[in-house]
Structure 1
Amino acid sequence: MKRFNKTFDWRFWIFMPILGILFPYIINLTKLTANFKIIVSLFIINMVFSIVAGRFLRHTGAFWVLLLVWPIIFLISVWLQINSTFYGYYLALLYLILEIFAFTSGQEEELDIDKQIPIDGGFGEV
């Protein structure tokens, strides 16, 4: 139950709709240039959040299916026409890829490979 509570921490999950829907809506209401909006909001902030989301889900031991939540929330903003469909679908895919990289980083090698004892003809009991 403790692992479940760590994964579904409301402080983390509340950032997804804020950064995916509310923040782009507020940025679109400002008089900033379109390039600044895209670079700051969609690239820098959301990409950093994608990496943080992947690392958070790995740290809490969450199921990999939860990696789909953040890109889907961003796609909702595309479907609501808050973000452009021209680049919205590609960015959602990019956020998913960044989350997957952050979720699986450090899992390339066998962690206990140095502790194994090799014996001719295979491994045996010690």
Structure 2
Amino acid sequence: MMRELRKVLNWKFWGMMLIFGLLIPWVFKQGGSSVQPYSVIISLFILNSIFSVYAGSFLRKNGSFWYLLIVWPLIFLVSVWLGYVPAIYGYAFAVLYFVLSIFSYTAGQEDDVDIEKQIPIDGGIKDV
């Protein structure tokens, strides 16, 4: 139990969330209006989308609960509330990051066995 909890509480992963959610938008905001169009494309769309996919797959691989997926978009929303990212598209990007992390969290689960369709063997197999 402690080992699994230690995997989820990986300080590098949570630090990367702070870097991608707060530090990178702040750096692009400090760059001025000449850097602003590139920050939307490079930082907000490409880098953070890739990190969203990584976050979902990291949490799935470590057996985390699904509700931890909301932490990454919430950290990004802090940068919107602080004014690092314009609110006009900041909220849409937060939703996009949440959806991407859900997709990567649930990817590959299409072939899982359906428990409802299995034959119960509590009393043994009697009629098949």
The question of a shared fold, defined as TM-score above 0.5 by the shorter chain, is answered with: yes
Question: What are the within-5 Å matches in structure 2 for residues 1-126 of structure 1?
Answer: 1-31=2-32, 32-111=34-113, 124=125
- Structure 1 segments, 4+ long, off by >6 Å, are none
Displacement after TM superposition at 1:29 (Å): 1.4
Which amino acid letter does the alignment assign opposite residue 6 of structure 1?
K
Deviation at 1:23, TM superposition (A): 0.9
Aligned residues: 118
Q: Give the Cα–Cα distance (whole angstroms) in 1 for the partners of residues 39 and 75 of structure 2.
A: 19
Shift of 1:111: 4.9
Give the root-mean-square deviation of aligned CA atoms: 2.1
* Counterpart-to-counterpart distance in 1, 2:10 and 2:56: 14
Question: What amino acid maps onto 1:7 in structure 2?
Answer: V
Structure 1 residues without counterparts, runs of 5 or longer: 118-123
Structure 2 gap segments, 5+ residues each = 120-124
The 3-state SS of whatever aligns with 2:98 is: helix
**TM-score for the superposition, normalised by structure 2:** 0.84
2:110 partner amino acid: E
